[in-house]
């Protein structure tokens, strides 16, 4: 016979064991005591478990080596085994209380024939004649069918509402310094700073002379005293006048020690170029402490100083390069402005007149030679615009103000802005612009209203009602389940409404 084995834990009590018994559906239950721990050693606990097991139509037996439990089980008439195989192979005897109950029933039947036993006796069922049972059965079947017809049918209604197109012309006045947006059309003027830099070059068209060779010649020193003087190499000499020309001795020597003694030394111009070519008797100044005791002059002109001609930028080159650079930076600025501004932002600045030069450097500098003229320039431009976020907020508020009832609602996501081609400037900083706002609205109708219109109607009649009451872009789609069912269900929860826009 099939046996349910229930392993007990050290913490189990009668309630937890009964919970484990509830899962059993076998005719026999074997409780296995844990090797350690002392549980369910009271006779009352064992009797309660045996009674609970009997109420479920099962026999109870124990598997334990606990002597106290074995003793109490024996007193309660509950079989005890020492191994699982023994419990499964041997027959389980009836408990002591079962034998006792049978003895009491037998004693009562023999000695107390006039006292009926208090047992539950099932009441006899009332039997109806066939002619009555058939109508009752038929009525039950019809009730079930009526309930099924009321609950089982379902309907799915797919509606494509037709949106209405609207447009509105809004005059806009943008004011710098304003932060609030009003329904009268006032919006703030936003500022955008753009920083651009560039480098350009152009070939030079002019030329300039630069010094090349040094002029050279001879000078004569005359001693005005009676003592000789040494004139070192590198002694600086010059002409007189507002723009003296400098020379230096390239040899050294001493004057004779007598008044009027002379010495001739070679000199060279201090700077290269034709400026060193001077006439005779022009060098007459000595840069020495003993200059008062000596005189100097050049008996012959100095010669050999030359200049060479090389390319150099002209003023026209600079002006042209500056003009090309300004155009380049403006083009770069417009490109950057278009990248920074959104598609629906309105640019109010039409000319880049508001700018600041951050740096400007020519190479070579003015009057300097060079085959190319280079220009590095960085400029900051300031432009004004109307933000699309401000325009959409204004359009959002104005569109909502057009609707006073709830029969139609605007689709705010459908709002589109179309500005006029140009703006007008009034005063010094105010800008006037006009934008065209377009949007779509749709009819609003609740699910409850639709169900109230079509409940219990045929599919054709429901479609005609929906076409009459709603602005539909296409015929309504009505799907009935089962498909042969002729009408829309009466129960609202059996009707599914799907609304969309066309």
CA distance 365 to 362: 6
Q: Tokens for 116?
A: 């009926």
Output the pLDDT for position 235.
Answer: 92
Helix (H) or strand (E) holding 462: helix 459-469
CA distance 40 to 63: 13
Output the pLDDT for position 494.
Answer: 86
Per-residue pLDDT of the chain (502 residues; tens, 9 = 90+): 678 888 888 888 888 888 888 877 788 888 888 887 788 888 888 888 888 888 888 888 888 888 888 888 888 888 888 888 888 777 776 554 554 555 545 655 566 555 444 444 455 556 667 777 788 788 888 887 776 666 678 899 999 888 889 998 888 888 888 888 888 889 999 999 999 999 999 999 999 888 999 999 999 999 988 888 888 999 999 998 888 999 999 999 999 988 889 999 999 999 999 999 999 999 999 887 655 688 999 999 999 999 999 999 999 999 999 999 999 999 999 999 999 998 889 888 889 999 999 999 999 988 888 999 999 999 999 999 999 999 999 999 999 888 877 788 888 888 998 887 665 665 456 788 888 999 999 888 888 999 999 998 998 999 999 989 888 888 999 999 888 888 898 888 889 999 877 6
CA distance 206 to 113: 152
Q: Residue 265: beta bridge partners?
A: 219
CA distance 248 to 191: 66
* HSE toward the beta carbon, residue 96, CA cutoff 13 A: 11
The helix/strand/coil state of 308 is: strand
Q: Tokens for 410?
A: 């605007």
- The domain over range 3-105 is classified in CATH as 3.30.70: yes
CA distance 121 to 429: 106
CB-based burial, 109-128: b 16+ in 10 Å, e otherwise? eeeeeeeeeeeeeeeeeeee
CA distance 438 to 252: 99
Q: Topology of 209-307 in CATH?
A: Elongation Factor Tu (Ef-tu); domain 3 (2.40.30)
Output the pLDDT for position 222.
Answer: 92
pTM score above 0.75 = no
Sheet holding 154-161, edge to edge: 477-481, 154-161, 495-501
Question: Where are the chain's structural domains?
Answer: 3-105, 152-162+444-501, 209-307
């Amino acid at each position: 016979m099939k046996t349910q084995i229930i392993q007990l834990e050290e913490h189990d009590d009668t309630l937890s064991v009964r919970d484990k018994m509830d899962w059993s559906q076998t005719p026999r239950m074997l409780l296995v005591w844990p090797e350690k721990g002392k549980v369910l050693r009271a006779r009352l606990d064992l009797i309660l478990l045996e009674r609970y097991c009997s109420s479920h139509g099962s026999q109870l037996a124990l598997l334990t080596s606990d002597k106290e439990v074995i003793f109490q089980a024996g007193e309660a008439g509950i079989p005890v085994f020492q191994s699982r195989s023994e419990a499964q192979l041997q027959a389980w005897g009836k408990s002591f209380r079962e034998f006792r109950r049978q003895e009491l029933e037998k004693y009562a039947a023999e000695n107390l024939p006039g006292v009926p036993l208090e047992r539950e006796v099932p009441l006899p069922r009332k039997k109806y004649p066939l002619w009555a049972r058939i109508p009752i059965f038929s009525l039950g079947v019809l009730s079930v069918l009526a309930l099924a017809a009321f609950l089982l049918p379902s309907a799915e209604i797919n509606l494509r509402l037709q949106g209405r197109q609207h447009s509105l012309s809004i005059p806009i006045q943008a004011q710098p310094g304003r932060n609030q947006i009003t329904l009268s059309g006032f919006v703030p003027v936003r500022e955008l700073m753009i920083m651009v830099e560039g480098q350009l070059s152009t070939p030079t068209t002019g030329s300039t002379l630069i010094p090349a060779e040094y002029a050279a010649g001879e000078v004569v020193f005359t001693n005005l005293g009676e003592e000789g003087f040494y004139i070192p190499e590198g002694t600086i000499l010059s002409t007189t006048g507002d723009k003296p020309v400098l020379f230096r001795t390239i040899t050294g020597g001493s004057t004779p020690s007598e008044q009027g003694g002379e010495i001739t030394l070679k000199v060279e111009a201090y700077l290269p170029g034709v400026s060193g070519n001077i006439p005779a008797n022009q060098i007459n100044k000595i840069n020495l402490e003993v200059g008062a005791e000596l005189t100097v002059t050049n008996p012959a002109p100095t010669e050999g100083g030359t200049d060479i001609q090389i390319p150099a930028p002209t003023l026209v080159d600079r002006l042209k390069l500056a003009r090309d650079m300004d155009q380049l930076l403006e083009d770069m600025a417009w490109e950057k402005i278009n990248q920074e501004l959104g598609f629906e932002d309105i640019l109010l600045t039409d000319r880049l007149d508001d700018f600041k030069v951050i740096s400007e450097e020519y190479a070579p500098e003015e009057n300097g030679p060079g085959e190319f003229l280079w220009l590095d320039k960085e400029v900051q431009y300031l432009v004004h615009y109307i933000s699309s976020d401000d325009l959409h907020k204004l359009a959002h508020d104005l569109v909502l103000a057009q609707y006073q009832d709830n029969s139609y609602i605007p689709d705010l996501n459908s709002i589109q802005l179309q500005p006029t081609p140009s703006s007008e400037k009034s005063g010094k900083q105010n800008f006037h612009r006009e934008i065209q706002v377009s949007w779509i609205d749709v009819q609003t109708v609740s699910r409850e209203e639709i169900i109230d219109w079509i409940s219990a109607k045929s599919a054709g009649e429901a479609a005609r009602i929906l076409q009459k009451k709603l602005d539909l872009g296409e015929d309504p789609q009505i799907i009935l389940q089962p498909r042969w069912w002729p009408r829309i269900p009466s129960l609202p929860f059996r009707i599914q409404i799907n609304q969309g826009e066309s």
